[in-house]
Amino acid sequence: MYSILPIRRSLLLALSLGWFFQVSTPSLSWGGAFTFAGESNGTEVVTHPTGYTGTGGTLTVSVCIDSSSPDAADMEIPVRNVVANWNARIPTTGNLVAGAASELSPGEFDFESVALHEVGHCIGLAHTNAASESGLSGNDRNYTKATDGADNTFDLDAGTDGVIGSADDVRGDDVNLHWFRTATNDPFTIDSVVDSTTYSQDLADLPVGDFFPANADRSVATLLGVPNSEAVMQQGTFSYESQRTLVHDDIATLRYAMSGLNEVAGDSDDYDLVLDYIGQATSCDIKLAFDDAETGFAVCSTSGVFVNAEHIRISSANVYFNTGFNWYFNSSLLGCGDGVLDAGEACDDGNQIDGDCCSSTCTFEAVGSVCDDGSACTETDVCDGVGSCTGSLVVCDNGLFCDGEETCDPASGCESGTPVGVDDGISCTDDSCDETLDVVLNVANDTNCDNGLFCDGSEVCDAALDCQAGTSVAVDDGISCTDDSCDETLDVVLNVANDTNCDDFNDCTADSCDAVLGCAHETIEGCEIPVDATGPTSRFMLYALMVLLGTIGAGAVVTGPGDERG
Amino acid sequence: MGWVWLFATSIAAQTGSGPSFSLPSKGSEVVVRLIERIDGIESEEAGPTTTVFADGRVVVERPSYMKQAGRHETRLSPEDLRAWLATLLETGVTEFDSQRTRGDREAADRAHRLKQVGRSGTEVFDRSSASRIDFELYVDDFRAAAKGPGAEETVRKKIDWRGLRRDASRYSELEDLQSLEAAVRMTRTLGRKSIVEATGSAK
């Protein structure tokens, strides 16, 4: 492998060898994030395509193939594709296609990929990496674009991740030329607004923890999780590899220029760049040709003029290629049907099919023309005249409440809803859905709580608290001489008159129990109670005691002495 | 380098007003070598190399990514070699001095800026790639004849320049650059012709 020594080391080597070893000094005025940015012209220089004077609007730049160039016919499709890509400005990732997948054969260079890069130079973009013009060699060329600063030596330290060109590079006093997104310092993202409010060259605007702007080198891409991606404007082309689409960083840099002289997007000096391929010609703003006298491989040769102190407009631009290489010429035209809106196309929906509102020739189909928007949820689809197919929504509602709300899937159409939930979690309620009233009913039902027993009372259903125990049935009838009980077999309360409960211990009364009236003590005629044993005083005391003890009821007839007990 | 400069055989004499020079006696010695480092290509292979030997052999080695890849060898007759070298020397490339040329280039840049009225309107130039060439020349000094008999000097010239095409185009007033560009172009052309002769194809 050939190693190109940095210029100062080369000089030392030459002197030490005592040769007439003559070396060139790389001019640091070339290149940068924008062509011409550097120590000579200013690190902050922004370069604009041919024709921009500071007035906003559409900026049309003509592109042609030199009609006298070798391989002019083969260049046609790739150049048209290049123009389409720069016009569409669609950021992509995974834009490196290597090996057999690239369509190329080993040892071939993809003309379209190289032309995409060189035309980028011709509209004002420089290499995003240090590149060969830095005088650095090998992988050191992949450090982010910068000048070598006050010490006139590039300070190169890949940082802790060891990846050259990443955010943790330590660059000493090197002066950054790369415009980076202040929010992320990720060249594989792009802000919706690209201007001085969102992009910067000032290292003070880097996210906390970053040391230097990351460039969109393929190794950095892998580090950032987007493998096989690289900025088109990164210098370094491999054979047997194609790179035909732009990444975010390519587009961001161009859009920064498009924010105009005040570097603020959205005002009157903004321009919309449109490259216009005019075919083979002898003159145009960007002319492409094979000319071995002009380049050893490929080059964009430009001149420019200062519009003001920090803005340069390209005044001439020519791309040259060397015939000595195995060039592969893509024969697939991007254009109508490729999904990229090119000049001359009203629309491009990625196909060449009629009936989808963007015709096979990339014109809008008429308002009301029948189309199919591909959705099963719409019907009677028609074109709106500006490329969209719209239809009225299909009604999926079956009018029923209880089977839930029907939905629509664009692929399969109407789908049943989920029946409404009726279960309230209360076991004793009768749950149902009322289709008439469109409500869910949860009705308390005591029978759901019945435990089948009589004597413990009737259980009830509480709609909030679930089953509640009943109150035991009352058995006391208030009649002291009845025997009170609850019969679980017959489900009745029994109050059975029991005469023994009425014994007043008077032999001269006949004691009985009436279930309604209570005890009765009927005097037995002719019955006498012996005096000695049952003197009036003693019998009375006994009677009183019994009353006090509750053995007999008050009012009971206490018979006289000599009563017989039956 | 182990160069042994033997001038036992002077195969060329001054012809007309052209330069006088001698070639190394060993046919295997290199007279001219041009190595081109292609800018913008990522490859471990060296760029195309054209080497002219004292015995007239012209060897072109091209990397695998170029057309006519590989090693191609043809031979110039002594007369053709002499004529070609005479033309090459007439370009003045032996006088090339890189330090002086760099200084001239910077002076031209300064003068250009001074011509501009203010910054607005100042014209600037750029070429997106700047390939490097190594050009080596080993012949006797053609001026030897003018210096008298036996005053032969060996010219050993080794020039390393980046962006020659760009600089030759931009600084058309700098003779050194024009000389070097002309010599390099001649060598490239010789190499291409040699390939055509060796392969029978121009492509």
* A24 to B120: CB separation less than 8 angstroms, yes or no: no
Residues 303-362 of A with CB under 8 A from B: 303-309, 312, 315, 323-326
pLDDT at A486: 93
Measure the CA angle with vertex B135, ends A132 and A1; round to 5°.
50
C-alpha to C-alpha distance for A262 and A48, rounded to whole angstroms: 13
Q: Give yes or no for residue B182 having a pLDDT over 70.
A: yes
What residues of chain A lie within 8 A of the CB of B64, using their CB?
A: 106-107, 239
* Per-domain boundaries in chain A: 7-20+28-328, 350-420, 429-468, 483-566
Q: Touching check for A30 and chain B: CB below 8 Å?
A: yes
Closest partner CB to B158 (pick from A19, A109, A308): A19
A294 interfaces chain B, CB cutoff of 8 Å: yes
Q: Which residues of A touch B117 (CB under 8 A)?
A: none
Q: Identify the three-state secondary structure at position A490.
A: coil
A vs B: CB pairs below 8 A: 164
Residue A79 host element (H or E): helix A72-88
In the numeric block, the tokens 């008159």 are attached to A497
Residues 518-537 of A with CB under 8 A from B: none
Is B13's pLDDT higher than 50?
no
Asked if B40 lies within 8 A of A308 by C-beta distance, the reply is no
- Give the rounded distance of the alpha carbon of A221 from its chain centre: 22
Question: What does the DSSP 8-state code read for residue A447?
Answer: G
Read off the pLDDT band of A250 (50, 70, 90).
Answer: very high
Q: How far is A2 from chain B (nearest CA, A)?
A: 6
Residue contact A22–B41, C-beta within 8 A: no
A398, amino acid identity: N
pLDDT in tens, A33-42: 899 999 888 9
By Cβ distance, the residue of A23, A292, A325 closest to B98 is A23
| Amino acid in the structure at residue A390 | T
pLDDT in tens, A285-318: 999 999 988 888 999 999 999 999 999 999 999 9
Helices (H), B10-116: 78-90, 98-115
List A482's β-bridge partners, or say none: A497
> What's the rounded mean pLDDT across residues A208-229?
97
- Tell me if A249 sits within 8 A of A233, measured CB to CB: yes
**pTM of the predicted model as reported, rounded to 2 decimal places:** 0.65
Return the pLDDT at A551.
53
Q: Give me the interface pTM, i.e. the ipTM.
A: 0.79
Beta bridge partners, A38, equal A42
Fold of B30-116+128-199: Mago nashi protein (3.30.1560)
Q: Which of B42, B125, B127 comes nearest A237 by C-beta?
A: B42
**Beta carbons within 10 angstroms of residue A373's beta carbon:** 18
Confidence of residue A359 (pLDDT cuts 50, 70, 90): confident
Q: Looking at beta carbons, which pairs linking A470-477 to residues 24 or more positions away fall under 8 Å?
A: A477/A515
Q: Which residues in A lie closer than 8 A to residue B157 (C-beta atoms)?
A: 20
Minimum CA–CA partner of B126 in chain A = A302
Gap between the Cα atoms of A453 and A460, Å rounded: 13
Using a CB-CB distance cutoff of 8 angstroms, which residues of chain B are in contact with residue A303?
123-126
pLDDT for position B12: 38
**Strands A286-290 and A57-66: what pairing?**
parallel
**Chain A interface disruption, residue of B60, B62, B128, most A CBs within 10 A:** B128
Helices B175-199 and B98-115 cross at an angle (nearest 10°) of 120
Summarize pLDDT for B133-175 with one digit per residue, the tens. 999 998 765 445 555 555 555 667 899 998 898 889 889 999 9
CA gap A380, A54 in Å, rounded: 49
B21 vs A457: which has the higher pLDDT: A457
Sheet strands (E) in A25-168: 46-48, 57-66, 97-98, 109-110, 146-147
Task: Return contacts of B71-79, CB within 8 angstroms, 24+ apart.
Answer: B72/B194, B72/B195, B72/B198, B72/B199, B73/B194, B73/B198, B74/B194, B74/B197, B74/B198, B76/B52, B78/B11
Task: Report chain A residues whose CB lies below 8 A from the CB of B185.
Answer: 293
Q: Tell me if A118 sits within 8 A of A322, measured CB to CB.
A: no
Q: Mean pLDDT across the stretch A173-195?
A: 97
Buried b (16+ CB within 10 A) or exposed e, A262-296: ebebeeebbbebbbbbeebeeebbbbbbbbbebbb
H or E element that contains A254: helix A248-258
pLDDT digits over A504-550, tens only?
888 889 999 998 999 999 999 888 876 554 555 555 566 666 666 66
Closest CA relative to residue A367, chosen from A347, A386, A385: A385
Q: Name which residue leads in pLDDT, A9 or B184.
A: B184
Per-residue pLDDT, A4? 28
What integer pLDDT is reported at residue A140 of this predicted model?
A: 96
- The residue type at B115: K
- Chain A residues with CB inside 8 Å of B130's CB? 26, 30, 132-133
Does residue B64 register a pLDDT over 70? yes
Burial class (CB in 10 A: 0-12, 13-18, 19+), A331: exposed
Q: Which helix (H) or strand (E) holds B134?
A: strand B132-140
8 A C-beta contact, residue B133 and residue B37: yes
- In terms of CA atoms, which chain A residue is nearest residue B99? A22
Q: A561: which DSSP letter?
A: T
Residues of A within 8 A of B159 (CB-CB) are 22
Confidence of residue A367 (pLDDT cuts 50, 70, 90): very high
